[in-house]
Amino acid sequence: MSELRNIVVLTGAGISAESGLATFRGPGGLWEGHRVEDVCTPEALARDPALVHRFYDLRREALERVEPNAAHEALARLDAEWPGELLIVTQNVDDLHERAGAKRLLHMHGELNSALCAACGERQAWRGSLPPGTDCDACGRSALRPDIVFFGEMPYEMEAIDRALARADLFVSIGTSGAVYPAAGFVRTARYHGADTLELNLEPSEGSVYFAESRMGPAGVLVPTWVDEVLAD
Ligand code: OAD
Ligand code: ZN
């Protein structure tokens, strides 16, 4: 293996599970009592904006009752101490990575604490409830919606992510089921460019076979151990 310098970390809902936030594809297949298609598509937003806005209002409120866990803290320590390139790409819309102190972080699926204008495309920081018909600060139209990348919409920052994957010596996937693209394809992109690959997850993900190494267990245990190993080398 070549010398380790550039690291890309992908995180999913599993890294926030031990903080008390529900994952998406848990037992029963419902997410907080809703089918994902009923709250996470442009069609759902058009059909029932009150339901979709309320759903994300509750998720945003829930952030106030949770704290980063040992896995978020460990990645923040890696970010602070790793001298090479690092990019933490999260699929999560919670703010636990940044509250733990991570800086080299991209939210590819949007953020609960942000509102997106459906009319002009501007994004603005948001706290508290976001009712349908709220005015946009930038264009004044009553078109703010939750800043969540719905199914069928383009994730954020794909160019920066692709650049980092092409330069990565190591790609690490943490707490994600590997069911949602394009994130599920990152392991193959990284391998194609010659990166070593490691999966840290409670159970084998859908793309488990693509990883050179898989470690199974809770993120709160596996991630601090892995970060200690990397920083010790
Ligand atoms: P999923 O709910 O699909 O997968 C969570 C993964 O975390 C599963 O493989 C679990 O086994 C694992 N897991 C659960 N608890 C864990 C723990 N304590 N430690 C380690 N792993 C654990 O969540 P994602 O893969 O993140 O999109 O889902 C991807 C996207 O689907 C989400 O970003 C979301 C959803 O539609 C948007 O919100 C736009
Ligand atoms: Zn606007």
In DSSP notation, 153-209 reads SPPTTHHHHHHHHHH-SEEEEES--S-STTGGGHHHHHHHTT-EEEEEESS--TTGG
In the chain, the N- to C-terminal Cα span, in Å, equals 14
Q: Give yes or no for a cis peptide into 182 (omega within 30° of 0).
A: yes
Antiparallel, parallel or unpaired: β 7-11 and 86-90: parallel
Read off the pLDDT of each residue in 35-50 and give the average, rounded to a whole number.
92
**Ligand 2: distance of its center to the CA of 127 in Å?**
17
Q: What is the pLDDT of residues 65-87, one digit of tens each?
A: 999 999 999 999 999 999 999 99
Task: Give yes or no for residue 36 CB within 6 A of ligand 1.
Answer: yes
Average pLDDT, the chain: 95
The whole-number pLDDT of residue 36 equals: 82
Tokens of 198: 């490691």
Residue with the bigger pLDDT between 195 and 23: it is 195
Plot region of 98 (φ>0 → left; ψ -120 to 50 → alpha; else → beta): alpha
Q: How would residue 29 be classed by pLDDT, with cut points 50, 70 and 90?
A: low
Give the Cα separation of 85 and 195 in Å (integer): 13
Q: Does position 89 have pLDDT exceeding 80, yes or no?
A: yes
| pLDDT tens-digit series, residues 221-231 | 999 999 999 99
What's the CA-to-centroid distance between 117 and ligand 1, angstroms? 27
Over range 87-109, report the average pLDDT.
98
| C-alpha span between 25 and 113 (Å, rounded) | 23
Mutate to test the pocket of ligand 1, among 9, 15, 23, 172 (most ligand atoms within 8 A of CB): 23
Q: Quick one: which of 207, 179, 206, 174 has its CA closest to 191?
A: 207
Report the alpha-carbon distance of residue 186 to residue 208 in Å, rounded: 12
CB of 218 closer than 6 angstroms to any ligand 1 atom: yes
Q: What is the pLDDT of residues 115-142, one digit of tens each?
A: 999 999 999 999 999 999 999 999 999 9
| Cβ neighbours of residue 64 closer than 8 Å, sequence gap 6 or more | none
Look at residue 28 and tell me whether its pLDDT is greater than 70: no
165-194: average pLDDT? 97
pTM over 0.95: yes
129: tokens are: 């409830």
Strand partners, 116: 123, 145
Q: What is the bridge-based pairing of β-strands 196-201 and 123-125?
A: unpaired
Mean pLDDT of 183-203: 98
Verify whether ligand 1 is closer than 6 Å to residue 21 (CB atom). Answer: no
109 is catalytic: yes
